[in-house]
A and B are shown apart, each in its own frame.
Chain A
């Protein structure tokens, strides 16, 4: 009897895990596009409530671990022209180059530590990566509303090979449109980073959060990213995602 109960519970847990994983997969599937372009405005609010603003243009070609992206800063003036070229591969670490106008040279970079903050913001490089579904295990924790919207609450535990800074993540996915509403990243037993997604709009049939707020609990600072002039499946020639294009400094 007890064996049967254990088997039933195990099956239920497996089914629940499958459900949780299926929800994450569906969420990623719905967000997928062949290309993307937006103008981002970042506000970094430090622990002393001082606000600094950065602006960039982001272009991506391809998706789901097989993509190329360019990010070019347009403000403030001292970083204007700085650009980052990223080539993502499904089977190995990405190639990254940074262009700095002051030295007129692209520089091969590699962020061995994905905890590194992205250009002084509260986003880490890991937070901005495309998340590979297979690199975590999932568990359904139940249902909970975020900002009045019913959501699934899923625990995501990165596998050791993912080398994540987080021991686990709680992810809230909106039931209505499968868009992430909130992610809490844990370092051991406490939340170290909270990402909130809001201003969710339907852009070319893809429900997208136009406002992403990340809060670094350890530094007591937060960053707000607003996506403006967002377009999906825009025509972007492959030649824009090369070292030569980086040098051209559009």
Chain B
């Protein structure tokens, strides 16, 4: 098993490198041809200054003030009526060693730290009639619910801050065929992109106190080699919408194996593993006169001895009333075969939880929102209050207070020392 894993991994690197080379060449050609023909170009982006103040220190992390800066740029170049090039890049800086102090352009975006400079998106998109093809680094989002998306398997995230996450692009080929109310989506992802997990020496890792008595080491990660594939059929019917989806690949969220290395000094060595995963999913939305009902469910199986077989589901209702928007629901889980010992799974961590959000638009520039999550056994709680205001044409200020409470054994409760105040200043261009 281990041998096969290693061999496929090495093949994957070659495969991934050649895919990237082809895509880069395609992008370069597209850029040159567009420059020559002077086609339509549009761009947008923002500079964001995100600052957190934590009233409490956390084990292994005494930092109370964390500041993150992000410059994001996104552009679209229309080469002709059926072909366009999408590009996006991030540049980062922060006060808390969350980004890598290496000034190179990162394509794969799968290191432990955030890259200082990264390609967020670089893809060629072609469409003709009802057929759309996109190849390259892109975002693929599945699912219909808003509070949790069990079927969203091609959407790894950056969880360095578990409450304030961001999607990571994936290198994939995506073909979509659409006719009337039917859409068929087929995806092949040859290069694996994992979710970025909290850094072991920072507060969002929330390791047990006993583990901190040892030196913590992380073994080099072996990424899966085989391509992930998936398909989704979506049907827009008379007053409802329904999808069925299938995914065969690897979980972008890891499980861990841990071993004690007694020499030269006692240390716990963690190995991050992304287990094989197969998903059978469905989602639906039914707008009614009073509420919009949305639901999503997925059954996950794995051949890995370290991963569970389980069902994750979400039911959600939303209602718009004047300037108010209410969204509430429940995320549930049923484990059919339990094998996991240590994992990092925020999706499953939010299962068996009631979730809700209420937002109110004060006027065209200002809004407030309250959101919360309560575990059904009462062992974990998350609450957020947010006020946001646009200032002029380009600036927006957001003030938020996040409260986390609960027991150390609970996914939300383990972060009980991470309640924080957040100030975000964004300049959009």
Contact = CB atoms under 8 A, between A and B. Distances in A.
Interface string B350-381: 00000000000101110000000000000000
A190 interface: no
Contacts of A121: 364
Contacts of B183: 243-244
| B-side interface mostly | strand
B322 interface: yes
B292 A116 contact: no
B364 A120 contact: yes
Interface of B: 44, 46, 74, 76, 78, 84, 86, 125, 127, 129-130, 132, 139, 141, 143-144, 146, 167, 176, 178, 183, 234, 236, 238-239, 241, 285, 287-292, 294, 319-323, 361, 363-365, 390, 393-394, 396, 426, 428-429
28 contacts: A52-B390, A53-B393, A76-B394, A76-B428, A77-B428, A77-B429, A78-B46, A80-B428, A92-B239, A93-B239, A101-B44, A105-B143, A109-B292, A109-B320, A110-B292, A111-B320, A112-B287, A112-B319, A113-B322, A116-B320, A242-B178, A243-B178, A244-B127, A244-B130, A244-B176, A244-B178, A248-B125, A248-B127
B390 A113 contact: no
Interface residues of A, number: 39
Count chain A CB atoms within 10 A of each CB in B76, B288, B363 and give the residue with the most: B363
A105 B178 contact: no
Contacts, number: 111
A224 to B, nearest CB: 13
Given A78-B428, A104-B141, A249 B76 contact: yes
A221 B323 CA distance: 15
Contacts of A149: none
Given A53-B393, A110-B287, A243-B178, 13 more contacts: A50-B365, A78-B390, A103-B141, A108-B285, A109-B292, A111-B320, A112-B287, A113-B320, A116-B321, A120-B364, A120-B365, A244-B176, A250-B78
Given A76-B428, A92-B238, A104 B167 contact: yes
Nearest to B293: A110
A117 interface: yes
A117 B285 contact: no
Contacts of A159: none
Nearest to B143: A105
Contacts of B322: 113, 115-116
